[in-house]
Amino acid sequence: MSFNRVLSVEADPYPFEFEPAKCALLIIDMQRDFLEPGGFGEMLGNDVSQLRRTIQPNKELLAAWRSAGLPVLHTREGHRADLADLPPSKKIRGKGKTTIGDAGPMGRILIRGEAGHDIIPELYPIAGEPVIDKPGKGAFFATDLHAILQNRCITHLVVTGVTTEVCVNTTVREANDRGYECLVPADCVGSYFPEFHEMGLKMIKAQAGIFGWVSDSASILAALG
Ligand code: TIU
């Protein structure tokens, strides 16, 4: 593949065009505690199958991205072991019995270094793929993501992961305000709530692409060739 050739992906509201070398795959928070049966997400009563359907399409997209030699980045939502970066509001919101930093089914909940905080084995990062540890929902807040992308001359992002209306949407909005063009493949993002997933995608592509584009992994794979 010529890295400077412009590729075109069938997408809503119109085709998404990008130069491969300037387009990163940004995989949001595919962490064990959000996706695995027995993790924190399921402990809260969520249906993890809604998120697990994204694993296979993400695997295929990640494999294609890697074999084309294109940039990949991963994020993880979580906090310092001493909780110094955890806003008190985030700690107490919901009045749950078990909250961030407490002992959970796979170690301390959303604490860096704990088993549940790590990325699922199916999509585990390899050498050369930056992992962005983020304390918030958006991947740009209090992280070095923007600097890393700028240093690599990246202008376009394919954003996948979980959850559609929370960390994916927040990240796409943050990226849009920083001048990035974002494409979201619908089958590679998921929510515990199908109606929020659907609306989260509609919000991105509404008003002629107010925040970006929506497509699917098959269309992106077809464009990569
Ligand atoms: N990664 C992410 O979306 N974090 C969340 O807390 N999502 C929920 O939907 N709760």
Tens-digit pLDDT profile for residues 174-212: 999 999 999 999 999 999 999 999 999 999 999 999 999
What does pTM read for this prediction?
A: 0.98
Top mutation candidate among 26, 29, 40 for ligand 1, by most atoms within 8 Å of CB? 29
pLDDT digits (tens, 9 = 90+) for 120-139: 999 999 999 999 999 999 99
Is the bond leading into 163 cis (omega within 30 degrees of zero)?
yes
Enumerate residues lining ligand 1, CB below 6 A: 29, 77, 162-163, 166-167
Q: Is 134 noted as a catalytic residue in this protein?
A: yes
Distance 191 CA to ligand 1 centre (A): 8
pLDDT digits (tens, 9 = 90+) for 86-106: 999 999 999 999 999 999 999
Measured distance CA(103)–CA(40) in Å, rounded:
10
Catalytic residue chosen out of the listed positions 22, 23, 167, 205: 167
Q: Is 182 noted as a catalytic residue in this protein?
A: no
Residue 35 dihedral angles phi and psi, to the nearest 5°? -110, -25
Q: Is 29 noted as a catalytic residue in this protein?
A: yes
Please give the number of the atom of ligand 1 that sits closest to the Cα of 28.
Answer: 1
Measured distance CA(30)–CA(2) in Å, rounded:
30
Tokens of 42: 């399921």
Distance 4 CA to ligand 1 centre (A): 35
Instruction: Inform me whether the pLDDT recorded for 1 exceeds 90.
Output: no
pLDDT digits (tens, 9 = 90+) for 16-44: 999 999 999 999 999 999 999 999 999 99
Please give the number of the atom of ligand 1 that sits closest to the Cα of 167.
Answer: 3
What is the C-alpha R_g of the chain?
Answer: 17
Distance 79 CA to ligand 1 centre (A): 14
Distance 77 CA to ligand 1 centre (A): 8
Catalytic residue chosen out of the listed positions 22, 23, 29, 182: 29
Q: Name the pairing type of β-strands 23-28 and 72-77.
A: parallel
What is the biggest distance separating any 2 CA atoms in the chain, rounded to whole angstroms?
Answer: 54
CA nearest ligand 1 atom 2, residue:
167
What are the b/e assignments for 27-47, b being 16+ CB within 10 Å? bbbbbbbbbbeebbbbbeebe
Measured distance CA(190)–CA(118) in Å, rounded:
18
Tokens of 194: 């199908």
Residue 81 dihedral angles phi and psi, to the nearest 5°? -60, -30
